[in-house]
Structure 1
Amino acid sequence: MFLLFIIISLVVFSTVGTIALIWPPILFSLVVFLPLFLLGLLDGLQKRQAVRRNFPLIGNLRYFFELIRPELQQYFVESNHSGRPVPREFRSVVYQRAKGQLETLPFGTQRDVHAEGHEWVHHSMDPQNLNFKDIRVTIGGPQCTKPYSASVMNISAMSYGALSKAAITALNLGAKEGDFFHNTGEGGISSYHLQGGDLCWQIGTGYFGCRTKEGHFCPDSFAKKSQLDVVKLIEIKISQGAKPGKGGLLPGSKVTAEVAEIRGVELGKDVVSPSKHSAFSTPRELLEFVEKLRNLSGGKPVGFKLCVGHHSEFFAICKAMVKTKIYPDFITVDGSEGGTGAAPLEFSNSVGRPLDEGLAFVVDTLNGFDLRDKIKIIAAGKVFTSFHMLTKLALGADLVNSARGMMLALGCIQALKCNSNHCPVGVATTNPHLVRGLNVADKYLRVHRYHDRTVKTFVDILGAMGYSE
C-alpha cells in the first residue's frame, strides 16, 4: 500500500504540474496536497505503528476514531442503563439535582422490575414526615473526647493533585454550605481545603503533609496540622477499592510545583505511594497508631479505611481490639467498585471485595466481637442516589461517602481522562488552561444542592417506609 501511495502521489503532482502550465492558480492546491504527502511519507517510513506504515494517511483514521471512541459510545451507543462505569441514569440525576432542575421521571420506570438483581423497598400505609436536617450521626467512641456530628452523606477521599485546585475549593465550599465533611484524600491538606468546610484528614502510606524527609510518619507535623479547627476527623488509609494492596499513584504530569511542595516530592515525577504503612505492621500496632493519632490530635475521632480482603486479617484486627481495648472511632469500608484512583486494569477489575459483601462482613464481624456499638461504619463505593444510601444503611452502615457523585456534581462528564491530566472540564487535571473552565462560584452551589436534595430524598424514602425516627 505504501508503493500505491507513492504512485498516486506522483500522479497527483504530475497532474498539478501539467495543469499549471495552462492554469497557474492550480499550484495553490499544493497547500493541501504537499502536507498530506509529507504526512503519508512519514506514516510509511515510521516503524512503530503497522497500520500507518501499511496504509499511509488513511491509517490515521483508526487512531482518530479510537481517540473519540468514549464520546461516540456515550452519546450515540449507550442506553440509560448500559453506560460504564456510571450509567447515564445516575449521571442524569446527579446533574439535575446539582443544577436544581426537574428531577422527576415521566411515564414510569425504564427498568425491568422482574430482572434478576432488581432491588426495591416496602412502603408503609402510614408514611411519616421527617426533617432531613435532623438526620445526623455522631462519630466518636468511648475513647474520643471531641466527637463529631456528621451528615449521612459526605465527600469521599480525593486528593489535591488528583483533582484541580478549583475542584477542591468548590468541594470544600459546598461542604461548608451544606454542613457535611470533606475527606482530603491522601495528598495532604492544601490551602484549597481550608475554605471553611469540615475536613476528614486522610493519612496514607506516603504520609503526605506529616512526613519526614525519608518519607516516614512525623508526629510533630501531624500534631500541628491536626489541631486545625476544620480538621474534625482523621482517617488512616490502609487500602482503597480501586486498587487494594497497591499504593496511590499521581502521574508526573499532575505534579505541579505547588503539589510537589505540599506533598514533599519532586516536581514532574510520578508519585507512587508504598503499598503498606511503615508506621505499623500488625493489628496491634495499627490500633496503637490509632491511639497515638487520637492523642496527638487532642482527642479527635480517628478511624481507618480499607477494602475487605482476607477475612482472617479483619478478624485479627477485631481480636486485637478486644485484647488491647483500643477502638477506632470509625471504619470506612470501600468497595472494589470504587473508581477515583487510577489503577492497573487487573486491580480495578479483579482485586478486592465489592462494597455490599465487604460491608455486610464488617458489620457481622463487629457484632460477633461485641464491638459494633463502639464503632461507626462509613460505606464508600458507587454511591450516587438516595436508594444507594438506603441499601448501604440497610446493610449496617451508619453513613456514606461519595466521590464520583461529587465529581459529577462539579461537572464531570465521564470523559475517562482522569489519569491523563486532560480532563476537559477542569475537575481531574492540574492544567491551568483546563482548570479555568471550572467556575468555583457556580460549582460549589451545585455540590451543595446535590447533597441536600439527595439526603432529602433519602429521608422521604424513610418516611414512605414508615420510619418516624
Structure 2
Amino acid sequence: MSLLSRYAFFACCVLFTLACVPFLQHDWLWPFALASALLSLVGVWDLLQKRHAVRRNYPVLGNIRYLMEAIRPEIRQYLLEADREQLPFSRAQRSLVYARAKNEGADKPFGTLVDVYDNHFEFINHSIRPAPPRDPAAFRVAIGGPQCSQPYSASIFNISAMSFGSLSANAIRALNKGARLGGFAHDTGEGSISPYHREHGGDLIWELGSGYFGCRKPDGSFDPEAFARQARDPQVKMVEIKLSQGAKPGHGGILPKKKITPEIAATRGVSMDEDCVSPAAHSAFSTPIELLQFIARLRELSGGKPTGFKFCLGHGWEFMAIAKAMLEAGITPDFIVVDGKEGGTGAAPLEFTDHLGVPMREGVLFVHNTLVGLRLRDKIKIGASGKIVSAFDIARALAFGADWANSARGFMFAIGCIQSQSCHTNRCPTGVATQDKLRQRALVVEDKAERVFNFHRNTLKALAEMLAAAGLTHPAQLDANHLVQRLSASEIRLYAQLHTFLKPGELLEGRVEGRFYERSWEMARADSFDPVGA
C-alpha cells in the first residue's frame, strides 16, 4: 500500500474539515463537519502516539483493528478459531506474547481452550510437594568448552537469528535494547553486525553464514582479518556458524535488491545493484574435519570466545560424521544450535516449509543422544529454536536435551508483528520488516524495547512457576520423565517412554539400542559428509 493510500482517508477528513469552515452558516453541514473534525483529531493523535505501530502507519483506519480486538468474547473467539490453520502462529499464541510484553495478566478464566483428549496434547506432571519458585534471573547456562578462554554466561531464553535487512533498523534497535535491559543475548542473523546492533550495547551472538557478510572479500570468500576486527569487540559474546536454517535447510537465502539500502550494503559488504544471495553451502570448508578446523580458527581469531554452529538436522550420518571428526581431530565446538524445520521467519518455498528438514524435538534429541553416546555432552552445550513462544515451549525443548532456547517470532510479536505476511514486500504495516523509513517510524524503539524486556522476564517467570509446580528449582533439572504426551483417548506416555535416550558411551562401545542410531553411525565418516560406500 503506497504512502498516498495509507494516509488518504485521514487526508480526506482534514481537507473536508477545512473545506467546511467557510460554509458553517448552513446548519445541515455541522454534523458532517464535526464528524470529520473528530476523525482528523483521531488521525493526528494516531500519528503522535507511540504504543501502536499500525495506528501510526494507518491513521484513523488503523483503529478498526483494535476495535475488533476489543469486542469479546464472541468475535474474538471466532477470529481465534478462524485463523488457527491459516497462519504459522494462532492468535492465541500472539495474544499470550502481547499480554506478557505489555505486562498484562495472561490468566484464562473458565478453563482451557485446549482439547486435553487430543492425541497430541502435552503437559508437565506436577508434584505433591511443589518447590518455592526461583528467581528467573538465575536461569543461566555457562557456554564454553575446554578449548574456550572466554566463556559466556547466557540466559536460557534468547533472541534467535534475524538479520538487519530482513528486519528494520528500529526493530533491531528495539530487540537489542530489550536484550540489554534483560541481560540476554541477541543473535545478529547472517546479515552481520549493523550500527543498530551496537547502538544500545546488548550482548550479541554473531552469526556467520555462507555469504560471510561483514567479513568477506570482494569475491565472497572469508576474510580472517575483517572477522577478527569485529569478533574481538567486547559486545560480541559468541560466534555461530550457520550451516542451515529451519525454514529452508539446504536452500541458502536471498535479500531482494529492492530492500537493500546503502546501510545494508555497507554492513554486509555487498552491492546494491543485485539481490544479496547467501549460497546454499560454505566455501571455507567442505568436510567435517575442515568444519572443525574452521571453528577452531574462528575461536582463535575471536580471542577465545565460544564458537559453534547452527543447523537443521538432515541426514543423520552427516551430523555423526561431524561427531566422528571431533574424536579424530580433538576439536569440539563450544555449542550447537539445533533449528527445527517448523521455525523460521524468512520467506521459503512452500515445499521446503512443509516437507524438508527435521522438526526441532527430533533434531535436539538426535544431537543430544549422539554427544551422550560419545561422552562429549559435557563439553558441548545445545541450543534449540523452532516455534518457541511460551514457557512450556522452553520446557519441552529442555526436556529433549537442550540447554537453552531461542525465539524469533515470539520477540517479533513483542515488537509489534501482526503476521501480515508481507515481510518480502517492504510494506510491513508495523515497521518490523521493512526498510521504508516512514513505515519504520511507526515502531517506537523505547516502547518496544520495554516490551521485549517484559516478554522475556514474564516468560521466564512463568517457567519458574511451572518448574516449582513440578517440584523443581532450575530448568537444568528438567528431563524426559517430567513431560507427558497423550497418544489416544485411553493412553498417555512419558517422553522417556516414547523416545530413545542413549547412555554415556553407548556409541563408542557399540551398545546402541535402536537400528537408526547404529546404522547412521556405521554410515558416518570423519573425512567426508558422504556416507560410507558412496
TM-score above 0.5, yes or no: yes
Following TM superposition, by how much is the alpha carbon of 1:366 offset from its aligned partner in structure 2, in angstroms?
1.0
Q: Secondary structure in 2 aligned to 1:249?
A: strand
8 A contact 2:187–2:206 mirrored in 1: yes
118, 127, 137: which one aligns with 1:115: 118
In the alignment, the residues of structure 2 paired with residue 422 and residue 381 of structure 1 have an alpha-carbon distance, to the nearest angstrom, of 25
Distance verdict in 2 for CA 1:76–1:426, change over 3 Å? farther
2:452 maps to 447
- Distance in 1, matches of 2:98 and 2:128, equals 32
Inter-partner Cα distance in structure 2 for 1:75 and 1:250:
37
2:109 to 106, 117, 120: 106
Say if 2:143 is the partner of 1:139: yes
Per-residue CA distance 1:131-174 (angstroms, 9 max, x = gap): 21111100000110000000010000000000000000000000
1:14 corresponds in structure 2 to: none
- Which runs of 5 or more residues in structure 2 are unaligned? 1-67, 69-74, 475-534
Distance 1:137 1:172 in 2: 20
Deviation at 1:111, TM superposition (A): 1.0
**What amino acid does structure 1 have at the position aligned with 2:122?**
E
Q: 1:388 aligns with which of 393, 409, 413?
A: 393
Matching residue of 1:464: 469
- Structure-1 residue corresponding to 2:96: 93
Aligned with 1:313: secondary structure? helix
Cα deviation digits, residues 42-62 of structure 1 (max 9, x gap): xxxxxxxxxxxxxxxxxxxxx
Identity %: 53
Contact 2:154 2:185 in 1 (8 A): yes
Matches of residues 362-401 of structure 1 in structure 2 within 5 Å? 362-401=367-406
Map Cα deviations across residues 104-126 of structure 1 (whole Å, 9 max, x no partner): 11111011101100001110111
**Equivalent runs, 1:64-79 vs 2, <5 Å:** 77-79=79-81
Q: Secondary structure at the match of 2:128?
A: coil
TM-score (norm 1): 0.83
| Structure 1: runs of 5+ lacking an equivalent | 1-70
Deviation at 1:344, TM superposition (A): 1.2
- Any conservation in 1 of the 2:464–2:473 contact (CA below 8 Å)? no
Question: What are the residue-to-residue correspondences of 1:296-335 with 2, within 5 Å?
Answer: 296-335=301-340
1:348 aligns with 2:340: no
- Cα distance in structure 2, aligned partners of 1:81 and 1:152: 29
2:242 alignment counterpart? 237
1:275: which partner in 2? 280
The residue identity in structure 2 corresponding to 1:158 is M
Q: CA deviation at 1:453?
A: 0.3
Structure 2 counterpart SS, 1:138: strand
Find the counterpart in structure 2 of residue 357 from structure 1. 362
Alpha-carbon distance in structure 1 between the residues aligned to 2:356 and 2:224: 33
Describe the SS at the equivalent of 1:419. helix
Contact 1:254 1:268 in 2 (8 A): no
Partner of 1:204: 209
Q: 1:412 to 1:216 in 2, by over 3 A?
A: same
Helix, strand or coil for the counterpart of 2:463?
Answer: helix
Q: What is the match of residue 20 of structure 2?
A: none
User: Contact 2:80 / 2:92 at 8 angstroms: preserved in 1?
Assistant: no
The TM-score with structure 2 as length reference comes to 0.73
Superposed CA RMSD: 1.8
What code does the residue aligned with 1:443 have? K
Indicate which of 190, 193, 218 corresponds to 2:194.
190
> One-letter code of the match for 2:433?
A
Q: Matches of 1:230 and 1:283 in 2, distance apart?
A: 30
2:244·2:310 contact (CA, 8 Å) conserved in 1?
yes
Structure 1 residue 390: deviation in Å? 0.3
Match of 1:61?
none
Going from structure 1 to structure 2, the CA distance change for 1:312 and 1:74 (only over 3 Å counts) comes to farther
Which has the higher mean CA deviation after the structures are superposed, 147-156 or 244-253?
Answer: 244-253
How many residues of Structure 1 are paired with residues of Structure 2 in the alignment?
400
Return the offset for 1:83: 4.8
Counterparts of 2:145 and 2:76 in 1: how far apart (Å)? 45
AA at the equivalent of 1:229: P
Q: Partner letter of residue 162 of structure 2?
A: M
Task: Kindly state the Cα deviation for residue 77 of structure 1 after the two structures are TM-superposed.
Answer: 5.0
Residue 177 of structure 2 aligns with which residue? 173
Q: Tell me, in whole angstroms, the C-alpha distance in 2 between the residues paired with 1:74 and 1:328.
A: 47
Matching of residues 397-436 of structure 1 within 5 Å = 397-436=402-441
| Contact residue 246 and residue 312 of structure 2 kept, 8 A | yes
8 A contact 1:74–1:83 mirrored in 2? no
CA change 1:289–1:342 in 2 (3 A) is same
Q: Work out the CA distance in 1 between the residues paired with 2:180 and 2:360.
A: 28
Larger radius of gyration: 1
Offset of residue 468 of structure 1? 3.1
Counterpart amino acid of 1:192? Y
Tell me the residue number matched to 1:254: 259
**Structure 2 counterpart of 1:226:** 231
SS of the aligned residue for 1:214 comes to coil
Q: Which amino acid aligns with 1:375?
A: I
Q: Distance in 1 between matches of 2:347 and 2:371?
A: 31
Contact 2:245 2:344 in 1 (8 A): no
CA contact (8 A) 2:87 2:419 kept: no
Distance, in Å, in 2 between the alignment partners of 1:105 and 1:365 is 40
Letter of the 1:430 partner, please give it. Q
Matched to 1:272, the amino acid is: V
